Structure 1
């Protein structure tokens, strides 16, 4: 194989590996490039390499995606092979036979490779909406915000971070593994989301602990102190929020409807309440721009609450697989100076 073609094959393998580990939609894979590559090759070595980087990958063996997803992937791989090769490839059919015997589940794993060489694995629902919530899956803005965080670790290093609407936990776990925060508070309101979130934190080698008392500074450690909190944005009070004493506040893909936006802005405004002399936390909100009107409503609500904002420039690295054509945004918010009282 020529050197330039070898480089193409390496890039193709990397794309298949990362998209399969993350259980991305099968239509997003470079199937046409694979078929062209197979037509140029006289053997099935590339397909065997793809099998090792996907279905046979150690991460997938230990934490497999849903059986339905693996079956669909292998079926498509077999179709591409049969389109250009007369002889069947036994390894592909053996892998398909194995997954055909697995018990079907409503959940599966998604894994992501981090720059440090570590991996992040989540157990998620196979459906976008499950148990009456969308919080059981990872949304693209969470991946985008995690990329930005990894590129800008100073915003999180040695800080206490509060995440609003943590969902499956991807962004927070990436920050905990790559950005060395002092403490990290995951939060959500749905009981099923919180249950799954707790499991994902444990799956990645972290142990949720009760919130530390106000003013307590955890001892130095390689791992941050991790807390999971149930926060209902419509009910939480200023004192409850200020007790977390966050230095940085983040949220990803939480702008769904006017009611949610107003509740989020109320929480952000409440975070400015706290002990006199304590600076307001830095805040970052990431979202996919699906409807420009939703973005305009968010910025209008911020202005009415006295919260200034600026768009964060797009970052340069693409670490995780998500829709390249989606418009992503991160807003850096300047919360009002701390006040002694707030409405509850």
Structure 2
């Protein structure tokens, strides 16, 4: 692992993450009128869960059609027991909010969540708002199509940062690129901590639905070049870019382009960028040599490539690192994100846990960390 006092001309994520989280902690202490007497980075699960309003937490999961954590559901039901008006607030601000009703968030998901709430409330004789029954009635008359929407919300939880269509099936039309995956959500969340002055344009490899690239462009007001190879994926990628108003007005700083890793020619590539990003692209060992070759060529004109990988197979990660070395590239930083915490190697925080709950929730039956690689050309 490289020193925490790096060459100022070299891009490092660790100090940027540390600095951003310190600023956030300091701001919260000032807002609460409390001195910052403790280490802000000590892992505290209970504090982390209460850090954001329960209703906003729930709204994030609901709008992204992500399985609601059992503990969060229990806390919400308990609040409804304590205050019957909270159930009405939940129904108005989430189930019947304009954000939800104006988008086709997976109807079956919405139906299941509302049914679960109704069952829990009725079990304890908690008054159930009529508006909750009304919304359920509407949903029961709707049927999901082949594509549904996921919404990701801003810091306050009252506006949509980015929205995406995805296939209802993880494998569709012979590709997995039509669905949202964990590493893309975690990569988007990481860039909440990266200052806008560090880059003005990014290239995303293997964009799929475009969650990482589009979310970063929206959050940081920067340009993005979204790339993939499969025709069906490119069509969905273009739709999502248009949906987020990144392309379509004729003067956009963002683009959707076909990029074949196996036949990439840098002399024909006219899309400069400060950073290269990629998420969930190392699962196929047969393509890793081509991927690393593309990274090597793009890094001639970009300062770093940030690659996010879900740890499903140790062998594919090792194979990726091998091909990086063979391509004369080096990993200057490598760290994990799991359960709302970054695990960084630092001298400042002995246990290396830095809490940062995600605004891009994702659920998987296989609980695995996301590994981030900061890849750069060897000097």
Aligned to 2:351: none
Q: Confirm whether residue 187 of structure 1 aligns to residue 227 of structure 2.
A: yes
Aligned to 1:285: 307
Q: Confirm whether residue 240 of structure 1 aligns to residue 282 of structure 2.
A: no
Q: For 1:190 and 1:331, how far apart are their aligned partners in 2? A: 25
CA distance 1:186–1:156, change in 2 (3 Å): farther
Aligned to 1:103: 143
Q: For 2:58 and 2:302, how far apart are their aligned partners in 1? A: 43
TM-score normalised by L of structure 1: 0.80
Contact 1:188 1:232 in 2 (8 A): yes
Deviating beyond 6 angstroms after TM superposition, the runs of 4 or more aligned structure 1 residues are 7-10
Once the two structures are TM-superposed, the CA of residue 32 in structure 1 deviates from its matched residue by 2.4
Q: For 1:8 and 1:271, how far apart are their aligned partners in 2? A: 42
Larger deviation, residues 316-325 vs 100-109: 316-325
Q: Aligned-pair RMSD on alpha carbons?
A: 2.8
Q: Confirm whether residue 49 of structure 1 aligns to residue 97 of structure 2.
A: no
Larger deviation, residues 12-21 vs 201-210: 201-210
Q: Confirm whether residue 260 of structure 1 aligns to residue 283 of structure 2.
A: no
Q: 1:271 aligns with which of 274, 298, 303?
A: 298
Contact 2:331 2:373 in 1 (8 A): yes
Contact 2:67 2:363 in 1 (8 A): no
Instruction: Give unmatched runs, 5+ long, in structure 2.
Output: 1-48, 336-341, 343-353
Q: 1:163 aligns with which of 192, 195, 204?
A: 204
Pairs within 5 Å for 1:127-138: 127-138=169-180
Aligned to 1:213: none
Pairs within 5 Å for 1:301-316: 301-312=323-334, 314=342, 316=355
Q: Confirm whether residue 197 of structure 1 aligns to residue 197 of structure 2.
A: no
Pairs within 5 Å for 1:80-91: 80-85=120-125, 89-91=129-131
Contact 1:187 1:231 in 2 (8 A): yes
Aligned residues: 309
Aligned to 1:333: 375
Once the two structures are TM-superposed, the CA of residue 185 in structure 1 deviates from its matched residue by 0.6
| SS of match in other structure, 1:171 | helix
Q: For 2:149 and 2:203, how far apart are their aligned partners in 1? A: 25
Once the two structures are TM-superposed, the CA of residue 78 in structure 1 deviates from its matched residue by 1.2
Once the two structures are TM-superposed, the CA of residue 251 in structure 1 deviates from its matched residue by 0.4
Q: Confirm whether residue 230 of structure 1 aligns to residue 258 of structure 2.
A: yes
Once the two structures are TM-superposed, the CA of residue 280 in structure 1 deviates from its matched residue by 4.7
Contact 2:161 2:218 in 1 (8 A): no
Aligned to 1:173: 214
Instruction: Give unmatched runs, 5+ long, in structure 1.
Output: 1-6, 211-217, 219-223, 274-278, 338-344
CA distance 1:104–1:179, change in 2 (3 Å): closer
Q: For 1:323 and 1:290, how far apart are their aligned partners in 2? A: 14
Name the structure, 1 or 2, with higher relative contact order (CA <8 Å, separation 6+). 2
TM-score normalised by L of structure 2: 0.73
